[in-house]
Chains A and B, each alone.
Chain A
Amino acid sequence: MTLNFGNPNRPNSYIGKTVPRPNAPKLVEGRGRYVDDITLPRMVHVAFVRSPFAHARITGIDTTEAEAARGVLRVFTGADLAAVCTPWVGVLAHLKGLKSPPEHPMAVDRACWVGEPVVAVVATSRAAAEDGAALVDVDYDPLPVVTDMMTALDKDTPVLHPEMGDNLAFRRQHEEGDTDKAFATAHKVVSARFTTARHTGVTLEPRSILVDWNPADGQMTAYHATQAPHMIQTVLAKHLDLPEGRVRVICGDVGGSYGIKVHVYPDEVATAAIAKVMGRPVKFIADRLESFTTDIHARDHQIEAKIAVDETGKILGFDVDDWTAIGAYSVYPRTSAMEGNQVVNLCGGPYDFANYRASTTVVFQNKTPTCQYRAVGHPIAVAITEGLVDMAAAELGIDPVEIRRRNMYADDAYPVTSPAKMRFEGLSHHASMDKLLSLMDYDALRVDQAEARKRGVHRGIGIASFIELTNPSPFMYGIGGARISAQDGCTVRMDPDGSIVALSGVTEQGQGTEAMLSQIVAEGVGVSPSKVRIITGDTQVTPYGGGTWASRGAGIGGEAALRSAMALRDSILDVAAAMLQSDKSKLDIRDGEVVDADTGASRMPLEELGRIVYFRGDTLPKDLPRELVQTRHYITSEYPFAFTNGVQASYLEVDTDTGIVTLLKHWCVEDCGRIINPQLVDEQIRGGIVQGLGGALFEEIHYDAEGQLLNGSMADYLVPMAAEMPDMIIGHVETPTKESTLGAKGAGEAGTAGAPAAVMNAINDALRPLGAQVTHMPFTPERILRALGTIDD
């Protein structure tokens, strides 16, 4: 059976339509079940004593007083846990030269960042555990700290991990064409220095885990706010010496993830280790300060970059020197070098040019480890690329849209391999730009901008084209040796009442995974989505899979769901054909009924078929297959990633007296291939845009020279609020991937990828007549006033 997606009047047409999310009513009634909502018999709580120093030797730990405190049951040191939990090393074989030292669930004799867990106190309540933690006496011998990424490799900088030899974690240099020649002979070369601030995800639900070790069953159950339950199952089994099949990870409602919850965190593994030792359920819920100091950070990059163009604005080459610092360890098992690596992969993405040199230098430092956060590397690469393209356009006196038109890959040019060696199956830069310009009425906006300028009001328009990496294959992690699944599976079954249950390896953290899967399964089988129940996030029940990250839920999980649903439909029709003594090809399933394929006339409701199969099997032919359960797995095979593309625009106003930027409106056109649920896609993009706008204007983790984190609260680390955010207009172009029947690519990173560059370009468009330019994010009032020369001390 093939699905005629182009025909909106096809039977059971749910793919492509906005249907309600099945899990939304429960969440609006406060009936969600997040990890902290779960209470188990004999449950205890753990609080961690964390290093107050960015780098210090631990010379003594006195737990006597803590152990005597009311409610405290047990205290664990790093050495205690090292005895029951093997350390891990966050490296991938294909990132050649990447190194990182072994990391334990808690520091054993040396702490390497402020917030690293040192001692765990277990008590009858979290409050008692915290009171006990305050009584633990740790002697520290402070060591020299490494905080500045740009001097981390200098010979007089101390080496953070002496056994590593130096502070270099990873370096990659990529060259295509003859960059030196291109730049030497170019009509214009424009260079700039970009800085992207350290960010963190600020999930509203903090990191949460509740681990129950039942020695009688020989089973560990971890209720975990994670995006990758099977990965966590594998990790806990490996490092706590348990059979993988005896570890069950349950991931119920999760209160925001954005990549923050796809990693292995030392304190979470420590919680599991403690549960195994104590033989009872142990809960750890990070408090907000712990979230700021121990959730992974990201985006801490400094870049020198330049672009070479000819007289017509044709791009001749890019030359990018990216530096990033990843904190004290490369995070396991995804590794922290991936973001710099993505900057190299993604710079110049939308453009057809020949000469490309890019390098990333990844260093260790005494700060919270960084790792993958929503749109890994994308906002950095897009800011570099789109910032330089705009600067070149200004130098040449070409309109920003026009210079992009002259350089973007033609929509009929694909397949294409980029200078960064990325393979594009089919992108739509020009069609997307056409749509964007009509949505925003670009020409009218330029008129409005010019009129505002006459009134002394400084408005700017910023455009940012981008590519987005989705549907990762084993080329992302598998080839590096990480046990992170690139395939995903779905099991679909029909129950006696004709309802459908689908169990999927991808997970729900608010994206709408359950709604998306219910639509696909509904269309694939031939029932309404309300008849489909989706089960995700339980490793003992669902097919093994990767989970939800890197925008793989719809593209990978959705395709597995479609294939399993179509297989189930086929099985149902086998039975129906026998029962109705009809040719199978003459039958169809529509809206929960077996019907005549030609006329649509009802032949038998599915519940009648279910009744006979399950309860009156004696009436069916003896050897008739009656498998009303089907499982299919899917993995991409032709392309390492399904690249998507899009373009964003920002319209904003800069108050040149105060430096305050007011966002007036934002647009995004994105091509994520087949759209399964338009509303969910739009909301993914809007949410992503706002995280990108946060990066552009507000979000920045500050450290002092001693590695002390200075803004570890929601009052001090600014994120966007409702009042500062603009309305966002979203548009789509659909270029389905030919790799799958469904044709879906991901949509989760797009908003975050392009928004910072669009805002940067809009600010610089507003400031250009004043001779000012900003490239250091976030664009705070102070940085804008410095660019204007108002502040110069």
Chain B
Amino acid sequence: MSDSFRAKVDIALTVNGEPVEARVPAGRHLIDFLRLDLGLTGAHASCEHGVCGACTVRVDGDAVRGCLTLAAQLDGSEVWTVEGLSDTAEIRVLQDAFVARNALQCGFCTPGMLVAAQELLHRRPIPDRAAIREHLSGNYCRCTGYEAIVDAVEDTLRKCADEDMA
């Protein structure tokens, strides 16, 4: 059987900074690979077709949908999930702001929301509230009404900008 018809694919990648080698079914989605094979249950499966953002993780620097990405595509990639971003404290300021603002209720959307929000932190000039809302419009939250999330992201943006200035 030729390579292009293999049912299982060997991949080597790093996940949260650690090397991972795996043989994955060709149709296995990244979110299932993370959750079922690696036990990284922080990112969640919800809509399963790229609309809600609960499965958002970082792949090679970009926030991507874990439910639309195949694990087999990720040979050589660098994947970060909320667990790894927590361990490195990269999103600590954002996480603290979410807790302080109660920008989460059930918490199911939160890991994906944080990964999506983190993308904004490098943007200059600081986006206004409308731009924050627009950026987060790929992530459903059914509990909060979004305002506290926008507040938390705005707080973090300002804090990071102040630190840049200092």
A residues within 8 Å of B by Cβ?
20-21, 23-34, 36-37, 201-206, 253-258, 287-288, 509-512, 679-680, 683, 686-691, 713-715, 719-725, 727-728, 751
Contact = CB atoms under 8 A, between A and B. Distances in A.
B102 A512 contact: yes
B134 to A, nearest CB: 5
B98 interface: yes
Interface stretch (B79-87, B119-127, B158-166): B79-87
17 contacts: A28-B86, A29-B42, A29-B83, A30-B42, A30-B81, A202-B142, A204-B108, A204-B142, A206-B46, A255-B106, A680-B102, A683-B102, A719-B142, A721-B140, A722-B149, A723-B136, A728-B145
A204 B49 contact: no
Contact of B145 (A204, A509, A686): A686
B38 interface: no
A37 B82 CA distance: 15
B141 to A, nearest CB: 8
A-B pairs with lowest CB-CB distance, top 9? A30-B42, A27-B107, A255-B108, A510-B106, A510-B105, A30-B82, A686-B145, A690-B145, A37-B41
B147 A727 contact: yes
B49 A713 contact: yes
Interface string B49-72: 101101000000000000000000
A435 to B, nearest CB: 19
A23 B98 CA distance: 12
Interface in B65-119: 81-83, 86, 95, 98-100, 102, 104-111, 114
A434 B76 CA distance: 63
Contacts of A512: 102, 105
B95 A205 contact: no
B43 interface: yes
B137 interface: yes
Interface residues of B, number: 51
A751 B107 CA distance: 20
Interface in B1-58: 35, 40-49, 51-52, 54
A725 B132 CA distance: 12
Nearest to B41: A37
A256 B143 contact: yes
Given A205-B108, A256-B142, A509-B106, A714 B47 contact: yes
A29 B82 contact: yes
Nearest to B48: A288
Given A24-B98, A28-B95, A722-B136, A253 B41 contact: no
A28 B142 contact: no
Given A204-B52, A255-B44, A725 B146 contact: yes
B147 A714 contact: no
B156 interface: no
Given A28-B107, A253-B107, A510-B106, 6 more contacts: A512-B102, A687-B105, A687-B145, A714-B47, A722-B132, A725-B147
Contacts of B95: 25, 28-29
Given A37-B41, A723-B133, A204 B140 contact: yes
A252 to B, nearest CB: 11
B99 A205 contact: no
Contact of B51 (A258, A511, A713): A713
B150 interface: yes
A25 B52 contact: no
A723 B107 contact: no
A728 B147 contact: yes
Which of A27, A30, A688 has the most B CB atoms < 10 Å from its CB?
A: A30
A426 B132 CA distance: 41
A230 B148 CA distance: 33
Nearest to A686: B145
B100 A20 contact: yes
A584 to B, nearest CB: 39
Nearest to B136: A722
Q: Taking each of B48, B129, B141, which has the highest tally of chain A beta carbons within 10 Å of its own beta carbon?
A: B141
Given A30-B111, A725-B145, A679 B102 contact: yes
A32 B51 CA distance: 22
B104 to A, nearest CB: 6
Contacts of A30: 40-43, 81-83, 86, 110-111
A256 B100 CA distance: 20
A466 B94 CA distance: 37
A33 B107 CA distance: 10
A253 B41 CA distance: 13
A69 B35 CA distance: 25
Contacts of B44: 34, 36, 204-205, 255
A24 B147 contact: no
A460 B52 CA distance: 31
